A and B are shown apart, each in its own frame.
Chain A
Amino acid sequence: MNNIIGLRQMNVNQSGYIHHLSSHGELGRRLRDMGLTPGTEITIKGRAPLKDPVALRVRDCILTLRNNEADYILVNIGERDV
């Protein structure tokens, strides 16, 4: 299980698969609407000059998230979950 880390801990250009998304309500809905569902591959594309927000590639588009929003997302940086 040590392959699973918070999205905030990921480095730029690192990829992984979403393991779990724990936010509920509006934020949760928005994240899912934008395609962040468990099992989806994401790649960190960069961070803003002040290290927050973070930009990530998901399903062929680039999204930005604030760090405190990214904290709801756990990512598996190892092999893909089956």
Chain B
Amino acid sequence: MSEKITIALAGNPNSGKTTLFNALTGSRQQVGNYPGITVEKREGFISHENKSIHVVDLPGTYSLTAYSQEELVARNFLVMENPHVVVDVLDATNLERNLYLAVQFMELGIPVVLVLNMMDEVHKRGITINTAILSSLLQTPVVESVARSGKGKAEVLNTVVANVADHKQQEWNPLNISYGPDLDPKLEEMTTLIEQEDFLTRYYPSRWTALKYLEEDDEVRQLGQKDNKRVAAKLENIQAKVSKHCQVTLDTHPEAIIADYRYGYITSILKQGVITHTGDINRVNLSDKIDKVLTHKLLGPLLMCGVLYGMFFLTFGLGEAPLNWVQSFFAWLGTTFRVLLPEGIFQSLIVSGIIDGIGGVLSFVPLIIIMFFGLSFLEDSGYMARMAYMLDRVLRTFGLHGCSVMPFIISGGIPGGCAVPGLMAARTLRSPKEKLATLLTAPFLTCGAKVPVFLLIGGTFFPNHAASVLFWLTLSGWVAALLVARLLRSTIIRGEPTPFVMELPPYRLPTLKGLFIHTWERGWQYIKKAGTVILAISIIIWAAMSFPRLPENTQQDFQKRIHSIEQGINNSQSQEKQNQLKNRVKEIKNLQAQRTLQNSLAGRLGTSIESITQWAGFDWRMNISLIGGFAAKEVIISTMGTAYSLSETDPESGQTLSQRLANDTHWDKATGLSLMVFVLLYAPCFVSIVTMAKESSWKWAGFSMVFNTILAFCLAVIIYQIGQAL
């Protein structure tokens, strides 16, 4: 059996780490989540020189503190899983900052291989990096690479294999940096104490633990409290004294001194002949030139609107055709099974429960794939960061982040979007609170499934003004999303805004390979994970709208009536009479469908809450339709058709339903308006709920269902009551 090696791929965001990962593993990779959190875990398997290498792509981080989930994940993986080597990918054009993380790996003592990536850009800028000197000063192997073109791939693997052979049986060998006269003696004292007491030594090197105590690292402190309260208290005591001393005499904190000395160490190494500039240092680079236009105070926002619109158009314009193919295929499949299977409850389960359910899930796939393709492009090219930069001032007012704009637009900031890919687009947000607020408010926007409802109801009660109804509702969706975000951020998701400190990476053309891999794996993840849950819920909703069935004798009554009329058709000679009777059969069948729906669990629920919903002007028919709308908002109109015992209503035109509603005395402008506002704001469809749960948690997804429905209902009541009073 071949030897197994585990390597962890680490590095700053935008260092080309993922590109190298793709180059190394190709398509042999899998994506999952780290247990309990939404940070992605990417793994791949390769064989090299008879060794099977397991590559784990750690999340991109700037440091190894415990502030963000990404940093914690990276640190815990190294300490708990003990990979053989950390391959640290560095953006060689920005060596100083990138070495800050590398030094922290070395302090932890784990064997490191440094990969200086983007060497082609380094040469272009007229910079020479002497990797031999760097390697000998840091006593660590250094490899040059250009991950985009796959250059250096073999050297990386060779070095890893050689390094693992070297380090066999050897202890970790932590790097010791001097932290100056104020901290070094204390560090020494703490290290001795830790060694004597064998405190946390099974996890971390002793000096590293001491350092983390001086940095006031929450994670290590909590672990220390659990391990040995007495020693932990002693260490915290020393830290408190040092901290006070530093504040009084130097007006600073130990962690600031530590960062200073770390950078000092790096600078001193780079000065020993590692970097030489041969070109003009002040030469304006291409990225700066592009930024002059793309973030210009007038042109910038204009171009951004163009990009947002383009992205929207791409997703839904290009996605329309494949979306229709998927839908037509499942419609065809439904019809086929309707013919093949005998009429009855089994046929209904297969066609309305399973085929419609799977069709509903899969019809989103083309949209998700195209959206992620565009999104990956914007992210990898560096434009996404510029968008966040330009919009931050506006969105921060509502407790959101500059990056929140993309999920909003995709979800229906432009009418016709869809919350499912929209919620997935929120992955680009790195700040947890802002991300949660974005997820919870994006479903308020006008998704494509709400549009036909607005057009039908708007067209019925505000003839010739359907378009302006749609416009004002879209605007209301935005207002609701932003105001609710503000409300949530000042109540249940309260807290200081996450620091915006963000890097504007140089513009780069993304690699096609990377784009395809990311797009595909996200689409597949959706199909696999959401598919199972969504199918189950779809069957439950189908059952709620079909059971309990009409009593046996009622069903027989309907059958008898249909049967006797059908005999009449057979006996009748005149064509006119036959058509008349055929219409009569249709009417009875519609009546039966209406009674079945009214008698079902959903129907009974709709009827039982009529006494409450009448405040908003909703009768049992509307209640059932809205309950059905939880499956998918498209269902609202077709269910309403059944509830009004009309034949198959085409959700796109719904002509007959429109006339029926216009002539109904129960309906007026106030009812229509109240219904439209309710549909705009109430519980997201369950596909969105499942997606939201995957991106945050079931708790928040449940909250969104309840909260949105209550909010929508309150507003609907206000509108209806005012409308009645006028």
Contact = CB atoms under 8 A, between A and B. Distances in A.
A12 to B, nearest CB: 11
Interface string A51-67: 11101000111111110
Question: How many A residues touch the partner, as a band?
Answer: 20 to 34
A10 B501 CA distance: 18
Contacts of B503: 34, 61-64
Interface string B292-310: 0001011011000000000
A71 interface: no
B291 A63 contact: no
A30 B67 contact: yes
Interface in B382-405: 385, 389-390, 392-394, 396
Contacts of B501: 27, 30-31, 34, 63-65, 69
Given A26-B67, A45-B288, A48-B295, A38 B260 contact: yes
B19 interface: no
A76 B385 CA distance: 28
Given A24-B253, A27-B499, A64-B389, A34 B62 contact: yes
Interface stretch (B92-100, B202-210, B510-518): B92-100
Contacts of B394: 50
A29 B498 CA distance: 12
Contacts of A38: 260
- Chain B interface main SS type: helix
Contacts of B385: 64
Interface in B372-422: 385, 389-390, 392-394, 396
B649 to A, nearest CB: 47
- Chain A interface main SS type: mixed
A50 B497 CA distance: 18
Given A49-B301, A52-B392, A33 B500 contact: no
Contacts of B497: 66
B474 to A, nearest CB: 24
Contacts of A6: none
A34 B93 CA distance: 15
A43 to B, nearest CB: 10
Contacts of A55: 291, 295, 389, 504
15 contacts: A31-B499, A35-B96, A35-B100, A35-B263, A45-B291, A48-B390, A50-B393, A52-B392, A53-B389, A53-B500, A59-B96, A60-B93, A60-B94, A60-B95, A65-B501
Interface of A: 20-21, 24, 26-35, 37-38, 40, 45-46, 48-53, 55, 59-66, 69
